[in-house]
């Protein structure tokens, strides 16, 4: 199975894929430049201390550094920009409430993202519960109404939609690790801390996630032949 | 460094930089690995489609407002305690402190009092209650067995370290449940043992649910 086997015409959707792929380095270096790493740690510690002191400018700094990434991750987990914004806001409020209990076992940013991921799943659960209640009500009203096939609307999905659909079928851990590593660019050491799993488990989960995604995005055998006819 | 087709998946999962370079070299002469490598990398490229770090100008003001309100509320709670204690005259503050110490000492005395033989009437199940507990337990165990049957394929062949950990945990839980059931068999009216058993069953249920959730 190769790229030609994937359901999407990757090359047409990512025009420069052929040129860019030579430069892609799947191995993400574990060792950052020592000075940069040290500076990053110092900034992280200072940010945590400033937030603990109640300085709202520190929260603004946290937002300016990571807000966009937080919102993107939340949107990919929750599937809606509005819910994502709510989740990011709730995360900031939880950070403010819980900062006194932050002991620095992990980095402050990692801790914040862990709160965000948990907040997103809390929101998903409560949304599912609401949907179940609404579905029960609706079923009572109208059992016979025809419903659209879930896949009918996405017969020719965009790359993003296809990926979102495939991601939704992964397990929670696989989805989280894929989003954090491949989309948000975190390292396995950071992901392991966010999701409270080992680094090896993070690597293995990403491997399984990518294997499953590839399988899902592969077209049924013979579809090219059928398409050619 | 020499790599072969057999090394490919391992390198995909946890390869070093040198191994990736070696795999790229190998892929130039191996069509199958070339395809696999290309497909693997294109997933990483495609992930960019999910990356949208655009600014949301209205979001920060909203968060700032919520943070300010929450900070004020926290501050107000702190002040209400401080003002309550701080406004008392010194003599009242001393009296309150003395009363607090006295309560503390009485509590400590109560907790450290010599133990009398426990009266176990409340914790011994009467025969009718015992029958009900055993019926409920048997229904609960059957329900958990159904969950266990659903999770069995994953546990028999754990695909991830997480699943292997779940299997270990379930083995430990099953062993603890067996011990407790043996003890409860010798002393069927002991409610404490039944509660411990219930806690173990609940933990097993939770674990199985997590496994089934992973499956989905």
Q: A68 vs B162: CB contact, 8 Å cut-off?
A: no
Q: B70 vs A17: CB contact, 8 Å cut-off?
A: no
- Mean pLDDT, chain B, integer: 82
Is A60 touching B (CB cutoff 8 A)? yes
Q: Where along chain A do its domains lie?
A: 44-137, 157-218
The pLDDT of residue B195 is: 82
Chain A residue closest in CA terms to B48: A183
Burial of B55 (0-12, 13-18, 19+ CB in 10 A): exposed
Cα–Cα–Cα angle for B167, B170, B174, rounded to 5 degrees: 140
Query: How far is residue A101 CA from its own chain's centroid?
Result: 26
Is A213 touching B (CB cutoff 8 A)? yes
Q: How far is B21 from chain A (nearest CA, A)?
A: 9
In sequence order, the 6+-apart residues with CB closer than 8 A to the CB of B48 are A14, A183
Note whether A79 and A164 are within 8 A (CB): yes
Range from A38-52, A193-207, B78-92, B168-182 carrying the lowest mean pLDDT = B78-92
pLDDT digits (tens, 9 = 90+) for B9-53: 999 998 888 999 999 999 999 999 999 998 888 888 888 889 888
Quick one: what percent of chain B has pLDDT higher than 70? 88
The pLDDT of residue A161 is: 85
Q: Which of residues 110-129 of A touch B (CB under 8 A)?
A: none
The pLDDT of residue A33 is: 62
Range from A6-10, B67-71, B80-84 carrying the lowest mean pLDDT = A6-10
Q: What is the DSSP letter of A47?
A: H
Calculate mean pLDDT across residues B119-134: 67
Q: Compare CB distances from B20 to A27, A69, A96 and report the shortest one's residue.
A: A27
The pLDDT of residue B190 is: 80
Chain A residue closest in CA terms to B68: A56
B150 pLDDT higher than 70: yes
Q: How far is B173 from chain A (nearest CA, A)?
A: 21
Quick one: what percent of chain B has pLDDT higher than 90? 19
- CATH 1.10.1740.10 for the A44-137 domain, yes or no: yes
pLDDT, tens digit only, all 229 positions of chain A: 443 344 444 443 433 333 333 334 455 654 556 677 788 888 899 999 999 999 999 999 999 999 999 999 999 999 999 999 999 999 999 999 999 889 888 899 999 999 999 999 999 998 888 777 777 666 665 554 434 333 333 333 577 888 899 999 999 999 999 999 999 999 999 999 999 999 999 999 999 999 999 989 876 655 444 444 3
Query: For testing the chain A interface, which of B21, B37, B40, B59 should be mutated: the one with the most A CBs within 10 Å?
Result: B59
Calculate mean pLDDT across residues B123-143: 77
The pLDDT of residue B3 is: 87
In sequence order, the 6+-apart residues with CB closer than 8 A to the CB of A163 are A213, A217, B46, B47, B49, B50
The pLDDT of residue A20 is: 37
The pLDDT of residue A21 is: 37
Q: Give the ipTM of the model, two decimals please.
A: 0.73
* Higher pLDDT among residues B184 and A193, named by residue: A193
Is A67 touching B (CB cutoff 8 A)? yes
> What tokens were used for A168?
């939704």
The pLDDT of residue A140 is: 60
Chain A residue closest in CA terms to B21: A25
- Which CATH topology does A157-218 take? Arc Repressor Mutant, subunit A (1.10.10)
Q: How far is B66 from chain A (nearest CA, A)?
A: 7
Quickly state the pLDDT bin for B208 (edges 50, 70, 90). confident
Q: Whole-angstrom Cα distance, residue A64 to residue A66?
A: 6
Range from A215-224, B2-11, B60-69, B186-195 carrying the lowest mean pLDDT = A215-224
> What tokens were used for A123?
């929101």
């Amino acid at each position: 199975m190769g790229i030609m086997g994937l359901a999407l015409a990757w090359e047409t959707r990512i025009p420069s894929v052929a040129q860019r792929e030579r430069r892609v380095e799947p191995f993400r270096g574990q060792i950052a430049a020592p000075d940069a790493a040290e500076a990053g740690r110092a900034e992280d510690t200072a940010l945590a201390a400033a937030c603990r002191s109640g300085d709202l400018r520190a929260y603004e700094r946290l937002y300016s550094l990571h807000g966009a990434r937080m919102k993107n991750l939340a949107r990919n987990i929750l599937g809606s920009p509005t819910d994502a914004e709510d989740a990011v806001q709730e995360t900031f409020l939880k950070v403010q409430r819980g900062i006194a209990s932050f002991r620095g076992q992990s980095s402050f940013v990692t801790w914040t993202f862990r709160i965000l991921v948990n907040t997103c799943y809390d929101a998903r659960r409560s949304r599912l519960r609401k949907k179940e209640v609404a579905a029960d009500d609706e079923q009572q009203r109208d059992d016979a109404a025809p419903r659209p096939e879930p896949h009918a609307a996405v017969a020719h999905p965009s790359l993003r939609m296809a990926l979102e659909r495939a991601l939704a079928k992964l397990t929670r851990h696989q989805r989280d690790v894929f989003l954090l590593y491949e989309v948000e660019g975190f390292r396995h050491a950071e992901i392991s801390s966010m999701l409270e799993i080992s680094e090896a488990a993070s690597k293995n989960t990403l491997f399984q996630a990518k294997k499953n995604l590839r399988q899902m995005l592969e077209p049924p055998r013979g579809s090219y032949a059928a398409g050619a006819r | 460094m020499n790599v072969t087709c057999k090394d490919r998946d391992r390198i995909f999962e946890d390869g070093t930089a040198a191994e990736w370079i070696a795999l790229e070299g190998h892929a130039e002469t191996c069509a199958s690995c070339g395809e696999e490598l290309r497909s693997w990398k294109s997933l990483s490229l495609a992930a960019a489609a999910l990356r949208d770090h655009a600014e949301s100008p209205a979001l920060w003001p909203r968060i700032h407002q919520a943070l300010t309100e929450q900070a004020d509320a926290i501050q107000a709670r702190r002040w209400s305690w401080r003002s309550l204690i701080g406004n008392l005259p010194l003599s009242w503050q001393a009296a309150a402190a003395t009363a607090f110490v006295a309560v503390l000492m009485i509590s400590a005395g109560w907790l450290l009092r010599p133990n009398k033989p426990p009266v176990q009437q409340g914790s011994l199940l009467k025969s009718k209650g015992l029958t009900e507990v055993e019926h409920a337990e048997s229904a609960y165990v059957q329900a958990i067995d159904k969950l266990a049957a659903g999770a069995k394929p994953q546990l028999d062949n754990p695909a991830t370290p997480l699943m292997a950990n779940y299997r270990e945990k379930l083995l430990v839980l099953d062993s603890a449940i067996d011990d407790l059931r043996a003890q409860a068999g010798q002393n069927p009216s002991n409610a404490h043992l039944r509660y411990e058993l219930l806690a173990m069953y609940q933990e097993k249920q939770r674990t199985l649910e997590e496994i089934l959730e992973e499956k989905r």
